[in-house]
Amino acid sequence: MKARILLVEDEESLRSTLSLNLELEGYEVVSTANGREALQLFKTSKFDLIILDIMLPEINGIDICHEIRKENKKVFILFLSARNLGSERVEGLKAGADDYLSKPFNLEELLLRIEILLKRKKTTLSDPLSQSFTINGCAVNFITYEFTNILGQTDSLSKKEAQVLKLLIERENQVVSRDEILNEVWNYEVFPTGRTIDNFILSFRKNFESDPAHPKCFISIRGVGYKFINHEINNE
């Protein structure tokens, strides 16, 4: 699958040159010149990497980076900025960026850095931890979607259930908002009704919790989202 890149750059000629070159490399590129629009695009669509200028109309790149990191720790962010003092680079990285390249830059270097970042993602995905996981003594296999429930019976997850479960596990001990689950798992598809995620959580409790009526692993935070806590590991 083509990696999707959001390019945020207000200098028109640079934006079109970069778009073209990224597309030639096989990436799918969405671009904007405006900071506010960049955040809107990020919220309504899914990207693997964001190339972010700092000095932008309406919302600057550093603020955009902070906003994105409040909700999403995974998407790669690469700053591309004319601000190239050491302290400015530090500010960018502190805001949660993965990389920082100063303008003027060498196109080949930029493409290489992007390739390296996106490879890092592949490694994370093939991490054995993301292929199987144990909750309360119940083994879940994310390759075959099979699991054993709390009674020791084997059953299977739907693809969406597996994706939601994996997302909660990856974000262990953090509250994952409903919107985030919808964005990550349903992506461009038609969003399900609000009950769908609740029903998934109910089913996770039924399958993995010792006492589903008093959940300890799959917690709902009213009006905010859901949190996975792995008591098994905490108790060791």
Q: Which is nearer to Ca ion, 35 or 215 (CB)?
A: 35
Q: Does residue 187 sit in helix, strand or coil?
A: coil
> For residues 71 and 44, what is the distance between their CA atoms, to the nearest angstrom?
13
C-beta of 11: minimal distance to Ca ion in Å?
6
C-beta of 59: minimal distance to Ca ion in Å?
12
Q: Which is nearer to Ca ion, 19 or 134 (CB)?
A: 19
Q: Which of 6, 4, 22 is nearest to 107 (CA)?
A: 22
C-beta of 26: minimal distance to Ca ion in Å?
26
Say how many residues touch Ca ion, by CB under 5 A. 3
C-beta of 94: minimal distance to Ca ion in Å?
20
Return the range that interacts with Ca ion (CB under 5 A); candidates 4-12, 32-40, 180-188, 209-217.
4-12
Q: Which of 185, 139, 134 is nearest to 160 (CA)?
A: 185
Q: Does residue 219 sit in helix, strand or coil?
A: strand
Amino acid sitting at position 232: E
Q: Which of 177, 220, 180, 184 is nearest to 202 (CA)?
A: 220
Q: Does 71 bind Ca ion (CB under 5 A)?
A: no
Q: What is the x/- site pattern for Ca ion, positions 46-65, by CB under 5 A?
A: -------x-x----------
Return the range that interacts with Ca ion (CB under 5 A); candidates 5-13, 83-91, 104-112, 225-233.
5-13
> For residues 52 and 49, what is the distance between their CA atoms, to the nearest angstrom?
10
C-beta of 146: minimal distance to Ca ion in Å?
50
> What's the full length of the chain, in residues?
236
C-beta of 117: minimal distance to Ca ion in Å?
21
Q: Residue 20 has which token pair?
A: 């073209």
Q: Can you give the binding site for Ca ion, defined by CB under 5 A?
A: 10, 53, 55
